[in-house]
Structure 1
């Protein structure tokens, strides 16, 4: 309920003679909103007209109004819903309420209202498609209804329960065929859902379809069967290409070499087109290359891609040559890459190193590369003793445009949502508000929200507006004192910890990865707890990981641990922060004798390789932006680069 102060504020707003000085302050409206938003969810009818009138001037009032409507759809009229939709067509709430209203009216069988809503929806959900199928049935449009049912049912996964009415009607109709069931049976196996396939098998009534289902299941359960019995698939087999692909993928989990051999044999035998071969050939080849096969094993890669059609696989063949330090082969394989790939900083660098190793001076190319702001450009600069180039192009901002953007309703809502830490809603507002903006306005908008402290979105805005050289926007440092204090106390480079944070979360405090890592430095809960115990850092609850001070304190403590474990080598320690210390130790045990740049290039995890290169580069960028002396590699690390280990 209201506090006395809030009651006075509401009374002052409603009273005709209220003075301007009695108008609620923004922070007061924010508190009233917070207090009553939960009521809008639980008991929408409890909110009085006075509350609505008081908050009508608050930027987030549409969210309260939406929640009231969303929580009481059963009592709402189409007129009331349409009134809200009309007034809020430029907000993310429009789509949310429209979807909810369409589903509600469909479930209630209010088909006229459903169809009115359906006509406004551009990308309907599966649930709404099923309801539309029911609507078409009600209208007697059987062809449309059956087509919708077939499209939705013939997939390799379960569909929402709301679809059952449409499916049950279709399954009992003359339109349903045994072949439909076979298609879904195979789709289920293709997605690895054997249980669903078992359920679907009851609908396969045709003898030939049953035989095809049995064949599909045999290959699914025993993929080696096809290797021993090629007759299981022929060019006349329905969906032979798809069955071959699934069989090969399942066999690869058991025996990768055998799977590659099967694919090489049958992709031609079953006349799989060159285009259709590409994805699986590259996938299998890269997977196999990351195992670092011996010379005999590498012949398999040549058989898999004799004509160098797959750049990603060719890139890994270059990496294998690098791991052997077979420089003529490195040069030869790089020449097989597409022209645009060869011109990337990565392969320009390795072309130079391979040339130098073969006695061909290539300083001109190296000097050109040293002008680039990239990991490879920075390596080239350090080799030549050149200054690291940032190629910074500071933004020339138009204050009038910034003010205009800030005054837009979408941005006033965005700012309030950020204040309430409703980041998902804020991002929805951003996406909608900037969807039709020209790049210059998006660039200004990115600076605006970055000024508000939403650095993560500022960085994303720089990317979407292609402002690659706006270094202030792309590389903010919102917590310099925290990084200096906590990294300094652990005797590690604050710029390194800052670079890790920039790579991990781009300074989004609400960041949470799909595996559960949290906060600025993306700490896993178990790692955070263990680090807190070892270093005597208070962590009473995981929610504390959303606080910058706690997160940076724990993150730098853990970073210091991996740094110590790998003797201060920042490349190894950075890899360990991303992939785990034990995994990096295994990589070092297998290939630790390699020059450092080759070791980084041959990290088998693509994410970790990019992560290491980005973090090391970002550290240089941050130090250069603050005009501090910096080197990409320490002297001892630099001495282990490939160029410095050549005879």
Structure 2
């Protein structure tokens, strides 16, 4: 699911490729015209196309675009009846749910409460946003106790949700949230930088107890000065305590050592729970900076380590120092659901092995080895197991393709017309009811269309019928092989990195501006082009297949020369080589431990996926098998690496 969301975001920013109008039917040309009119919010053009397109199988799209654009331009009230008519005219359209939601949100946000409530339908009871919005308008003294409890549950369990945060007013009016819960929730909201929620909770407090705007601003802008100011009070009220802990968090983020010194001298200003929380936050921020004091700060936190991110950082800090007893102790203290995560199961088993409890570790390792992800591959090597062999899969027949293809026709046509991201949405919706065999057939259809990201998506849903040739495709082989040989790189590694970066979508553009198969940022592309002496280079050329592979493999070679190992070079490709060097220990360390203790969540997960992809591509390409742990190797010290010169990305 995560991979799909990443690809969907990339597709949102993909430039439409040029399609020759002469090669298309009139309806196809009209659809493309409507799509571009939608991108430019041209309602009059969309109206014209709706009339001309008639009852085409994709006629719901121009109508959907027209209504959504009209709603976004402030016309929600005037579109209510038109949205109902859309549902009547296109009862099976996958677009109705999105259209209905757009209308409902617009009515709510424009304070059309009666129309909003009248627009709601039975399925909206399962939409957290709309359910919270409805309750924010209807919850009152006559509401049942069950409904009040449901509203409170939604408010507590969805702190990041704007609509659910609005429930605090009605909940306070029916006396469903007490003072203690308010202060606790305000502290959590400030900690998580949920500004709107923080302000709504503050407004729900009695006027005399609300945080003063001046104090709030000072805690945010100058936490050190604010902390010093708090020392002038003989006793802190709840609001001052909340802001003090918030300021301590901000100071710890900036300088955990200075925060630890301040807290060591002044933690007695708050109660025991506050002291423990303060040390936990200082330890957490120190762990993110790989501060060597972080582990001792975690020890001072005692009962303050009651959040998942604190526990995870505690484990990784102990792991980096190879304190196996502490790693095991913290994992065992986690809630059961948290303990069962594959990463903690793996490190629990490694701790047990280091503590000479191999018989207890063995069943854990055997369970991990059943899957071929990062931890499964490491475990398979440790247990001397071969990669699991899939059951023999009967070849997909032409008849099976012909039978399934009509259910995918809307997605295929949208893809052929390069209408993004609707082609992917349609494909994924069509795949939802498929069984394993049908997912495999769908993957074959996508592969034949050279729609590789959907081939990977469908193949990954096929379970025991997954075909590694489809879930780990090798497109653009001749062009890629040329670049790989020129740079003396491992072909499996390059394929594994591209799969993670773009799922082989040559025109992919990320929200940060990275482009092409290897997702190269424009400044990096310009730097590489300069070193390759490419004349008159423009960053938009990065989406050209050969250019992208030439630039990307040059940069990979450069990172490998700088950082010595594929694991470090992979981390450098995602986060930059300067950061990677900051993450190294003064002494060489186990590469798997290094990967697990990378402080950036995105980079940590990225390196795991790319390295696992590399092993699976090596099998796919029939290369000699190199165990994953051997591929990762030992991470060197900074002293053993080349310096990074000014101007390098």
Q: Same fold (TM over 0.5)?
A: yes
Secondary structure of 1:344's counterpart equals: helix
Aligned residue among 566, 572, 589 for 1:570: 566
Secondary structure of 2:624's counterpart equals: coil
Secondary structure of 1:518's counterpart equals: coil
Secondary structure of 1:515's counterpart equals: coil
Within a 5 Å distance, the mapping from 1:623-634 to structure 2 comes to 623-632=618-627
- For residues 215 and 575 of structure 2, the distance between their equivalents in structure 1, rounded to whole angstroms, comes to 41
The residue number in structure 2 matching 1:21 is none
Give per-residue Cα distances to partners, 1:607-627, cap 9 Å, x unaligned.
333333332332221121222
Give per-residue Cα distances to partners, 1:86-108, cap 9 Å, x unaligned.
23343342134435555788899
The residue number in structure 1 matching 2:32 is 34
- For residues 630 and 490 of structure 1, the distance between their equivalents in structure 2, rounded to whole angstroms, comes to 21
Q: Which runs of 5+ in 1 are unaligned?
A: 1-23, 164-169, 171-178, 323-328, 642-647
- For residues 267 and 437 of structure 1, the distance between their equivalents in structure 2, rounded to whole angstroms, comes to 60
The residue number in structure 2 matching 1:94 is 96
Equivalent residues of 1:188, 1:194 under 8 A apart: yes
The residue number in structure 1 matching 2:324 is 330
The residue number in structure 2 matching 1:513 is 510
- For residues 364 and 115 of structure 2, the distance between their equivalents in structure 1, rounded to whole angstroms, comes to 67
Equivalent residues of 1:378, 1:388 under 8 A apart: no
The residue number in structure 1 matching 2:577 is 581
Equivalent residues of 2:117, 2:134 under 8 A apart: no
Residues 1:270 and 1:82: Cα distance change in structure 2 (over 3 Å)? same
- For residues 201 and 365 of structure 2, the distance between their equivalents in structure 1, rounded to whole angstroms, comes to 64
Deviation (angstroms), 1:116 = 4.3
- For residues 598 and 125 of structure 1, the distance between their equivalents in structure 2, rounded to whole angstroms, comes to 39
The answer to which of 89-98 and 102-111 deviates more is 102-111
The residue number in structure 1 matching 2:52 is 51
- For residues 633 and 102 of structure 1, the distance between their equivalents in structure 2, rounded to whole angstroms, comes to 50
Deviation (angstroms), 1:392 = 3.6
Equivalent residues of 2:34, 2:49 under 8 A apart: no
Within a 5 Å distance, the mapping from 1:386-405 to structure 2 comes to 388-393=386-391, 403-405=402-404
Deviation (angstroms), 1:318 = 3.2
Equivalent residues of 1:286, 1:313 under 8 A apart: yes
- For residues 602 and 186 of structure 1, the distance between their equivalents in structure 2, rounded to whole angstroms, comes to 28
The residue number in structure 1 matching 2:271 is 269
- For residues 344 and 161 of structure 2, the distance between their equivalents in structure 1, rounded to whole angstroms, comes to 46
Q: Which runs of 5+ in 2 are unaligned?
A: 1-21, 149-153, 171-178, 333-338, 637-649
Deviation (angstroms), 1:521 = 1.2
The residue number in structure 2 matching 1:561 is 558
The residue number in structure 2 matching 1:607 is 602
Equivalent residues of 2:567, 2:607 under 8 A apart: yes
The residue number in structure 2 matching 1:287 is 285
Secondary structure of 2:95's counterpart equals: helix
Deviation (angstroms), 1:305 = 4.2
Residues 1:189 and 1:231: Cα distance change in structure 2 (over 3 Å)? farther
- For residues 228 and 611 of structure 1, the distance between their equivalents in structure 2, rounded to whole angstroms, comes to 44
Deviation (angstroms), 1:527 = 0.6
The residue number in structure 1 matching 2:346 is 345
- For residues 124 and 625 of structure 1, the distance between their equivalents in structure 2, rounded to whole angstroms, comes to 42
Deviation (angstroms), 1:290 = 4.5
Residues 1:246 and 1:444: Cα distance change in structure 2 (over 3 Å)? farther
- For residues 157 and 364 of structure 1, the distance between their equivalents in structure 2, rounded to whole angstroms, comes to 40
The answer to which of 116-125 and 77-86 deviates more is 116-125
Aligned residue among 224, 227, 245 for 1:224: 227
Deviation (angstroms), 1:60 = 2.7
Aligned residue among 493, 498, 502 for 2:495: 498
The answer to which of 203-212 and 540-549 deviates more is 203-212
- For residues 391 and 229 of structure 1, the distance between their equivalents in structure 2, rounded to whole angstroms, comes to 69
Equivalent residues of 1:355, 1:362 under 8 A apart: no
Who wins on radius of gyration, i.e. which is larger?
A: 1
Give aligned pairs, total.
573
Normalised TM-score (structure 2): 0.67
1:618 counterpart = 2:616: no
Residues 1:470 and 1:262: Cα distance change in structure 2 (over 3 Å)? farther
The answer to which of 554-563 and 455-464 deviates more is 455-464
Residues 1:333 and 1:524: Cα distance change in structure 2 (over 3 Å)? same
Residues 1:48 and 1:513: Cα distance change in structure 2 (over 3 Å)? closer
The residue number in structure 1 matching 2:62 is 64
Residues 1:547 and 1:363: Cα distance change in structure 2 (over 3 Å)? same
Residues 1:267 and 1:209: Cα distance change in structure 2 (over 3 Å)? closer
The residue number in structure 2 matching 1:319 is 319
Give per-residue Cα distances to partners, 1:8-56, cap 9 Å, x unaligned.
xxxxxxxxxxxxxxxx996554234324554573523773787324xx3
Deviation (angstroms), 1:500 = 1.0
- For residues 306 and 129 of structure 1, the distance between their equivalents in structure 2, rounded to whole angstroms, comes to 33
- For residues 495 and 456 of structure 1, the distance between their equivalents in structure 2, rounded to whole angstroms, comes to 18
Equivalent residues of 1:224, 1:251 under 8 A apart: no
Equivalent residues of 2:346, 2:365 under 8 A apart: no
Equivalent residues of 2:496, 2:617 under 8 A apart: yes
Give per-residue Cα distances to partners, 1:238-276, cap 9 Å, x unaligned.
696x556534422322442565685995799265799xx
- For residues 370 and 107 of structure 1, the distance between their equivalents in structure 2, rounded to whole angstroms, comes to 50
Give per-residue Cα distances to partners, 1:195-216, cap 9 Å, x unaligned.
9999999x99987246766665
Greater relative contact order (Cα < 8 A, sep 6+): 2
Deviation (angstroms), 1:119 = 4.3
The residue number in structure 2 matching 1:85 is 87
The residue number in structure 1 matching 2:529 is 532
- For residues 583 and 188 of structure 2, the distance between their equivalents in structure 1, rounded to whole angstroms, comes to 38
Equivalent residues of 1:289, 1:320 under 8 A apart: no
Deviation (angstroms), 1:526 = 0.8
The residue number in structure 1 matching 2:9 is none
- For residues 394 and 607 of structure 1, the distance between their equivalents in structure 2, rounded to whole angstroms, comes to 36
- For residues 582 and 106 of structure 2, the distance between their equivalents in structure 1, rounded to whole angstroms, comes to 55
- For residues 569 and 346 of structure 2, the distance between their equivalents in structure 1, rounded to whole angstroms, comes to 24
Give per-residue Cα distances to partners, 1:471-521, cap 9 Å, x unaligned.
334322222222212111222122211111122223244544343322321
Residues 1:230 and 1:389: Cα distance change in structure 2 (over 3 Å)? farther
Equivalent residues of 2:526, 2:537 under 8 A apart: no
Give per-residue Cα distances to partners, 1:111-152, cap 9 Å, x unaligned.
986654344782889899989999x9xxxx9999xx9xxx99
The residue number in structure 1 matching 2:250 is 250
Equivalent residues of 1:342, 1:348 under 8 A apart: no
Residues 1:187 and 1:45: Cα distance change in structure 2 (over 3 Å)? same
